[in-house]
Structure 1
Amino acid sequence: MTSTAQGVGSLDAAAVAAALDEADCGTVAGDAGRRAQYSADASNYRQIPLAVVFPRERQHVLNALRVCRGLGVPVTARGAGTSTSGQAVGPGVVLDFSRWFNRLIALDPRARTATVQPGIVLDDLQRAAAEHGLLFGADPSTHSRCTLGGMIGNNACGSHSLAWGRTADNIVELEVVTYRGTVVRLGEMTRAEIDAAVTAGDDRGELIAALDRLAQRHLATLRTQLGRFPRQVSGYALEHLLPERRFHLARALVGSEGTLAVVLSATVRLLTPPPARTLVVLGFPDAGAAADAVPALLRHEPLALEGLDRALTDIVTRPGTRAAIDTLPAGRAWLFAELGGPEDALPRQAAALAGTAQQAAGCTGHEIVTDPVRARGLWRIREDGAGLATRLPPGSGGESGAEAWPGWEDAAVPPDQLGSYLRRFTELLDRYELRGAVYGHFGEGCLHVRINFDFTTERGTAVFRAFLADAARLVAAHGGSLSGEHGDGQARSALLPLMYGPDVIALFEEFKNIWDPDNGLNPGMIVRPLPVDGNLRVSPHRTPLPLATVFPFHADDGDFAKATRRCVGVGKCRSADHRGEVMCPSYRVTRDEKDSTRGRARLLYEMTQGEVITDGWRSTEVRDALDLCLSCKGCSADCPVGVDMATYKSEFLHHHYKRRLRPAAHYTMGWLPLLARLAARFPRLVNALTASRLAPALKRLGGIAAQRDLPRFADQTFLTWFRRRTPRGDGRRGPVLLWVDSFNNHFSPEVLKAGVAVLEHAGFRVRVPDGTQCCGLTWITTGQLGIARRVGRRTVDALAPDVRAGVPVVGLEPSCTAALKSDLPELLDGDKDARALAGATRTLAELLVHDAPGWQPPRVEGRSLSQTHCHQHATAGFGADATLLARMGIDNTALDSGCCGLAGNFGFERGHYDVSVAAGEQVLLPAVRSAAADTRILADGFSCRTQIAQQTDRGGTHLAELIARALPPAGSSAPPAPSLLPTDKEHARD
């Protein structure tokens, strides 16, 4: 048997890309940047492809296969690249279906079926089905970005497979093409249909004849060794070839990991969900006790029965989610049981399940969760498990933040064996001195775990190999499956002989040879496997480039390569769902991997390796991939492993442009605080120039988008006004230091004035820093870190006496407040005063809610929409603001809009306008335009208010302004009669 993979090393990437491009295969990329982006998935493995193809239509796929067949190049089909086993990386050509080959072809509510292209995202299908009261049963935790093609490849399951089955159980028909170009439609077949197909004698008939002969020769093996329990998905699903399963070739192809054929379309079955659901959370002393309780709980027929232990929840740091965890029932492990049915029957069902649980040994308590917001927060922990578990908490076998890896990610055993298996597995971890956070689908005996393997040393890699072999034997001894849903891939294919006898392995090879005799589709997976320790993403045989950094990256041991490999590929940044999250604004617009946090992290990691990206900090591929990063910092909060691309970008730009000419925008907007101070001397003259016929030329010179109106400088800065005024109020609460940011000081001083009024009314004595201080944000975002550090040092020194005296610092511009809280302490690494300043810094709402006991805000009846600044989302959240607005009697809707799209200098830079506006148009701008006239638009960020003002006929209002306008006049005890309607003057100003 000749493997197409054997000749890959001699092929030239440019020649392969040229041949594909000439053959009309869609969009073809063979450049180093694209190849680096697609070098890894969510597994431990790394292979640099020769080219990446983005087909737009069916014919593009057929053309690409024809070219690859002619060149002898292997093909790897890829969806969202969230595979944890290495099936989505390959040495040849990668077909990415997710970008354009992703349509819903048809949906038949009567037949309860949908036909889709393989690149459609599961959530997109679910939304379409929901319009008819239907859903697709399999729902993995990556539902917001995984594709149906990828789910078919790996036989994805998800939390509700207990009730609604795996992907295979919900497949009606597939249209596929083999490596040799045979297009065939597959489904279930009767004996008569098989005979008719064989009689036809065409390529399809020969394929079906060979498969029928295989099944008839091995009926006993198919019945006794395959499909023994629902989560046995290792190897090929040949049990579907049995006559009692109606020779269902489509379902036999599910889980084949792209090794047999390429999916062109899929017809899937849709279900009617129960009318209502409820969540029951059960506490246990450890995961083993939770596992022991599973068989009894299954008698209540839950929709889902998920487990997780304390090692996973200890990793969570997001304030809202942390609060949900802290109120879980006592214990060190929990089961999440979801029940479905008529709403009036659910309380009785939940009570019965809880009663059964209480009879289990060690059950520590239960909670029936009726608040949907709390339930979503708890489910989020489970959904983020694959990312959270990649960094271990303190006390988990190493320092805080120790790396943990997949590799033994999905083993499954029959549920009645789960407790025994879990205890033996824990003993195995102890024997190898390894640790991992366990979670997963306890109701089906399927465990997920990330383990702190050490791939940086020969010894650590040897431990990895030995552990996997012992773990495979342990699973086999419990009648289990090496893989319970994510497929075998490179992670487990070589271990299959420890689970199956030689007769089954030979059967798998025969099945592969019938479909793909050239071994052209995803070679090395399932049969003729690659070794488990080959192509590792981290290897002792590769030495990263010695790249010194300005930021300390303490959480990653000061290692920039380790920081970039925080991205393990779970791909949450590729989600188009805005609910409660910011990342990744540019990806949501372009749907291009290079514009995702993951794509950028992949490039940066490859830059540290110096192989496909060879010019280090000078890399143009990395620079171009970072160009559309908004530096919104959303990923630092939303990425389960805390990838902070804004910081990575700043670090890269610092080195990339060191002692080189920078883009014009770095000088105009990077140096804005200084330029604004100069403009403040002649604000009317500057405003006249920027509004004159010279404006287009000024924008071109400054690297500013021609479509943007330049903000007008205020006639008088806030600092000038403040230093001439007499303090008011009694100051009974003592001093507060108001941070005077450059944006509000020079462009919207009324925000800071309102802040002064509110703080004085609340009983604070308002002070401002001496001189003119700056947080350095604009220099940080443009990568001018030397200047940013000097500016930050000056600021910290100026504020240190007040901070040491316990004076709180309140900021009204979220981006600057976030810089004080997070960026400056990192930039001034080791500086105690910088750390103290971070701890002393508050948002206005935080100060009023937590540091002003007894103060009552004015009542302001009405409605509002609020846009949370992305930096506030990342560092402080909206909780204090929501509390304050509720106290004011305001019916507020916090928009799930993500970043406004302007993001400081990003939206003003030439070449960014279209992406900037498109990001705003996804949620924020339409919501503002459709809001009722009496609904106030709240936006604390200067960028957010600017985007709203320039793209709608409405104006944004800062929280400080909203409160200040409702305060009684100075010296008056009469309550005001506030209105939520913006005045004409406010419209004009905004």
Structure 2
Amino acid sequence: MTATVQDLGSPDAAAVADALGRGNCGEVAGDAGRRAQYSADASNYRRIPLAVVLPRERQHVLNALAVCRRLGVPVTSRGAGTSTSGQAVGPGVVLDFSRYFNRLLALDPQARTATVQPGIVLDDLQRAASGHGLLFGADPSTHSRCTLGGMIGNNACGSHSLAWGRTADNVLELEVVTYRGTVVRLGEMTQQEIDEAIAVGDDRGRLIASLHRLAQGNLAALRTKLGQFPRQVSGYALEHLLPERRFNLARALVGSEGTLAVILSATVRLISPPPARALIVLGFQDSGAAADAVPALLSHRLLALEGLDQALTDIVTRPETRAAIDTLPAARAWLFAELGGAEDELPLRATELAETARQATGCTGSEVITDPVRAGRLWRIREDGAGLATRLPDGSEAWPGWEDAAVPPGQLGSYLRQFTRLLEQHDLQGAVYGHFGEGCLHVRINFDFTTEQGTAVFRAFVTDAAQLIAAHGGSLSGEHGDGQARSELLPLMYGPDVVALFEEFKDIWDPDNGLNPGMIVRPLPVDGNLRVSPHRTPLPLTPLSKGFPFHADDGDFAKATRRCVGVGKCRTAAHRGDVMCPSYRVTLDEKDSTRGRARLLYEMTQGEVITDGWRSTEVRDALDLCLSCKGCSADCPVGVDMATYKSEFLYHHYKGRVRPASHYTMGWLPLLSRLAARMPRLVNALTASWPASVVKRLGGIDGRREIPRFADETFLTWFRRRTPRGDGGRGPVMLWVDSFNNHFTPEVLRAGVAVLENAGFRVQVPDGTQCCGLTWITTGQLDVARRVARRTVSSLAPAIEAGMPVVGLEPSCTAALRTDLPELLDGDEHTRARARGLAGATVTLAELLVHQAADWQPPRVDAPSISQTHCHQHATSGFGAESALLHRMGVDNTTLASGCCGLAGNFGFERGHYDVSVAAGEQVLLPAVRSAALDTHILADGFSCRTQIAQRTDRTGTHLAQLIARALPTAGTAAHTHRTPATEKEDARD
């Protein structure tokens, strides 16, 4: 018999990785960078694994277990790593199923079943099922990245479990392998099938015999202590071993958190969703009043009943979501009730539901949301709750730890009020939200893990909270599992006898304790292995100077990196309208996700695994495929801004060292462009003929990229010799002359002048040649960027003080003026005030026309268009003003849910990035452009976006200013007549 893992000395990481590599286990990594990436999940806990295995096929899983068994190394199974209780991190080998072992094996629409590998993302299964009018019932808020294996491990539920059940209710069959290598197919079993299996006498038979004896010997406990209400998921689901539940071993395994067996495949049940749905928002005086109303509302056959507290909505900053919140019924808490059924019956049912709510004490009003866009934005608040709640309105950190306790719905009001008092007694705060319809509450609490006293308060609080839950007949976990966060507290809920049954159940499956030890039974302490701990001394990072101030994180770079709490939204696939994280969407590699990079940066500050601080090659390599798109700054629920972190790291990493060639060519592009403008034809000849390959090689540019042609005449040269047009009755505006359009596509800026003058503005440009410093910022040359930015704000100060708007046509530069410069110029107060003034004065063309020229009538362009929103615009201002302006023009526009175009400034030109750059564009944008009809305008305000489109398709992107200018009724400087998309290629060459 193999010794238990506790009995064997732990080999070092290199030896484990070597053994796994020789054992044909798939992709194996034991390097410091990979181990750091997998050191945490979405919980409070941190454990450095010895190695990470990414199996590609079934045999790799079996081989990896065999190697680990021989070495006595524990195994932790992992999907998306979004577990909030610490069960997806471990000290041994982490098996990550998400990257490769993620196929849909079969889908039977007649039987309404699907068979999947454990790494498949829920949304991918849902997309496949939706083609047959079906879906998988459990839908946690992490549906865009959570895996079926992870959902099975935690018995995930989601918003619609009220109608469609938990994961356990939708699992039909599992194929699993134990730590000792026994492969078993699990499902319901009749007594005859049990007897036949036992009679065979093999490993499977002996396993079933032991489980059957356990059930038969403890029928009373299984019937009276377990499965008492739907969200009782703490511990093991031994109630499924009862004969009246058909001895269902598959369902008994659901929620076991990878402690019993490793999943090889799962067959799940699919359901038919209702033909129509309606969202009814109900307002209440407080969360307690909302909780009290739940029992009466449940009689209305709801699909979902979710609760939100104002403390959560106060954290929302995204403009369009904020706008949706501001129109909700006046309240301090809300219930989101969803009905499903035939479309003609929903209005009456919604009215009846609202009437029931109005009879409840504390109800402040109701509203039926019929706009699907607005409804989607409201649901997004709920989906982002786990991330939003990690920062309280005052900016302080909040943590899981009492993440998803549940009580029977009739007990919810009492529990919530006493829970609130318990928070007050411990001087703690938290924003409450969750599945009110099933009595399950989520909350993140401002525990202070940086001090001994704060950690002691954490332990005392969760102990008291566990006793409170037990007093209300509730469950420590309602869907996220026990993990390290709650396993130690299980005796307070179940008592020693049931816990002893759990231990026996674990020992039958895993006598070696090789699978995720310390979870559920024989638990690790709730306050052990904390990610932030007073017992760990961070690496002293003492640069001679600082790049960015990180005010939102108290000037602490380590605190900034730990904004990432692991909810993993950056691992979302394309087609969802978000930008982050473009490189992860291509590679599906954890190291290329915002979360993976944040983990490495945090570990760099700790100095335990990543030991060379700012000089770390592991961090440098992980950041290499970051496009600096800034998508995460808007899409990440906790505002991780990897573009800024990358700039900060590069600043220190290359301080006093030779930089990559592209930092000198692409980073210094504004200055080099000015030199090229003196002899553009010669430069174009060199970059378009045989010397181009040499130029690219020396400049760190990928040989497959075309270098954009410099214009024969810059915009500034043209502008300074022209005579202004129009009456200028609306007053002056400052047109920001960005380096990209000035030197490469001056026709864009000329079109902007034509539009602004037609709208009644008098156009001015900055004195001399100014720059926002973006290219130096993205390459981490922050000292140069700061000097450039300081000159810029000084030059524009008189215009800003005079109240003049600054209109930007290049989104990346506009975003830099709005967000980067105020952070970069954090020195003397006078300069900082000027930078903030410039940020407040900077607007896009559409924002100016929509908000400051509302009575101006734009020309009609009765034509279809598709539009690519630049990443930086997505992150800073969104596309709302542009959409409104296009609507006024009669344009039938479709905004692509494409994410980043893939070029992203210098990124797509740099050697080693071409394949990822192109693949990012090919996910949505480029195919959409190629398939667009010839009469469809391709709108792309970003120079990078237009360049990617021009180089990878036979179409040309059009700036919004060009679209408007070409349609102006009078002859102008940008174009004399309305041009069609078929002539846009020629326009770009002029």
1:144/1:577 contact within 8 Å kept: no
Inter-partner Cα distance in structure 1 for 2:350 and 2:422: 36
1:100 has 2:100 as partner: yes
- 1:265 aligned partner, one-letter code: S
- 1:948 aligned partner, one-letter code: I
Deviation at 1:8, TM superposition (A): 7.5
Inter-partner Cα distance in structure 2 for 1:274 and 1:2: 52
Counterpart position of 2:290:
290
Aligned residues: 982
1:836-876 deviations in Å (ceiling 9; x for gaps): 00000000000111111311111111111110000000001
Counterpart position of 2:140:
140
Deviation at 1:950, TM superposition (A): 0.2
1:337 has 2:334 as partner: no
> 1:561 pairs with 535, 558, 562, which one?
558
Give the SS at the match of 2:302: coil
Counterpart position of 1:321:
321
Structure 2 gap ranges (5+): none
Deviation at 1:501, TM superposition (A): 1.2
1:525-568 deviations in Å (ceiling 9; x for gaps): 00000000100000001122233532010110100000000000
Inter-partner Cα distance in structure 2 for 1:971 and 1:240: 77
Give the SS at the match of 1:838: helix
Change (3 A) 1:596 1:7: farther
1:2-21 correspondence to structure 2 within 5 Å: 4-6=4-6, 10-21=10-21
- 1:508 aligned partner, one-letter code: F
Give the SS at the match of 2:367: strand
Report the TM-score, using the length of structure 2 for normalisation.
0.98
1:302/1:337 contact within 8 Å kept: yes
Inter-partner Cα distance in structure 2 for 1:595 and 1:245: 44
Inter-partner Cα distance in structure 1 for 2:372 and 2:138: 22
Inter-partner Cα distance in structure 2 for 1:366 and 1:192: 55
- 1:203 aligned partner, one-letter code: D
Inter-partner Cα distance in structure 2 for 1:518 and 1:7: 9
1:714 has 2:715 as partner: no
Counterpart position of 2:876:
875
1:464-489 deviations in Å (ceiling 9; x for gaps): 00000000000000000000000000
Change (3 A) 1:775 1:463: same
1:496 has 2:497 as partner: no
Give the SS at the match of 2:294: helix
- 2:892 aligned partner, one-letter code: D
Give the SS at the match of 2:278: strand
Counterpart position of 1:52:
52
Give the SS at the match of 2:597: helix
Counterpart position of 1:396:
none
1:225-624 correspondence to structure 2 within 5 Å: 225-393=225-393, 400-547=394-541, 548=543, 549-624=546-621
Give the SS at the match of 1:473: helix
Inter-partner Cα distance in structure 1 for 2:402 and 2:286: 20
Change (3 A) 1:687 1:85: same
Give the SS at the match of 1:299: helix
> 1:705 pairs with 698, 702, 705, which one?
702
> 1:724 pairs with 717, 721, 724, which one?
721
Inter-partner Cα distance in structure 2 for 1:591 and 1:641: 22
1:56-135 correspondence to structure 2 within 5 Å: 56-135=56-135
Inter-partner Cα distance in structure 1 for 2:825 and 2:719: 30
1:877-892 correspondence to structure 2 within 5 Å: 877-892=878-893
1:759 has 2:753 as partner: no
Inter-partner Cα distance in structure 1 for 2:150 and 2:786: 46
Inter-partner Cα distance in structure 2 for 1:5 and 1:677: 66
Inter-partner Cα distance in structure 2 for 1:950 and 1:3: 61
1:693 has 2:685 as partner: no
1:313/1:325 contact within 8 Å kept: yes
1:43-79 deviations in Å (ceiling 9; x for gaps): 0000000000000011000000000000000000000
2:10/2:73 contact within 8 Å kept: no
- 1:629 aligned partner, one-letter code: C
- 1:484 aligned partner, one-letter code: G
> 1:654 pairs with 651, 655, 679, which one?
651
Deviation at 1:981, TM superposition (A): 2.8
1:803 has 2:797 as partner: no
Inter-partner Cα distance in structure 2 for 1:941 and 1:683: 22
Deviation at 1:577, TM superposition (A): 3.5
2:142/2:569 contact within 8 Å kept: yes
Inter-partner Cα distance in structure 2 for 1:515 and 1:971: 79
Structure 1 gap ranges (5+): 394-399
2:966/2:977 contact within 8 Å kept: no
2:285/2:362 contact within 8 Å kept: yes
Deviation at 1:984, TM superposition (A): 5.8
Give the SS at the match of 1:391: coil
1:333-375 deviations in Å (ceiling 9; x for gaps): 0000000001111111111111100111111111101111111
Give the SS at the match of 1:364: strand
- 1:300 aligned partner, one-letter code: H
Inter-partner Cα distance in structure 2 for 1:502 and 1:16: 37
Inter-partner Cα distance in structure 2 for 1:308 and 1:823: 33
Deviation at 1:580, TM superposition (A): 2.0
Counterpart position of 2:904:
903
Counterpart position of 1:174:
174
1:863 has 2:884 as partner: no
Counterpart position of 1:663:
660
Deviation at 1:2, TM superposition (A): 9.8
- 1:217 aligned partner, one-letter code: G
1:400-424 deviations in Å (ceiling 9; x for gaps): 2100000000100000000000000
- 1:867 aligned partner, one-letter code: Q
Give the SS at the match of 1:864: strand
Report the more deviating stretch, 304-313 or 6-15. 6-15
Report the TM-score, using the length of structure 1 for normalisation.
0.98
- 1:905 aligned partner, one-letter code: N
- 1:241 aligned partner, one-letter code: L
1:28-39 correspondence to structure 2 within 5 Å: 28-39=28-39
Give the SS at the match of 1:476: helix
1:302-343 deviations in Å (ceiling 9; x for gaps): 000000100000000000000000001110100000000011
Counterpart position of 1:211:
211
Inter-partner Cα distance in structure 2 for 1:745 and 1:84: 49
Inter-partner Cα distance in structure 2 for 1:534 and 1:514: 27
- 1:507 aligned partner, one-letter code: L
1:156/1:167 contact within 8 Å kept: yes
Deviation at 1:985, TM superposition (A): 5.2
Inter-partner Cα distance in structure 1 for 2:206 and 2:489: 32
Give the SS at the match of 1:735: strand
- 1:736 aligned partner, one-letter code: V
1:580/1:898 contact within 8 Å kept: yes
Change (3 A) 1:3 1:632: farther
> 1:822 pairs with 808, 819, 830, which one?
819
- 1:567 aligned partner, one-letter code: C
2:10/2:72 contact within 8 Å kept: no
Identical columns (%) = 84
Give the SS at the match of 1:63: helix
Counterpart position of 1:397:
none
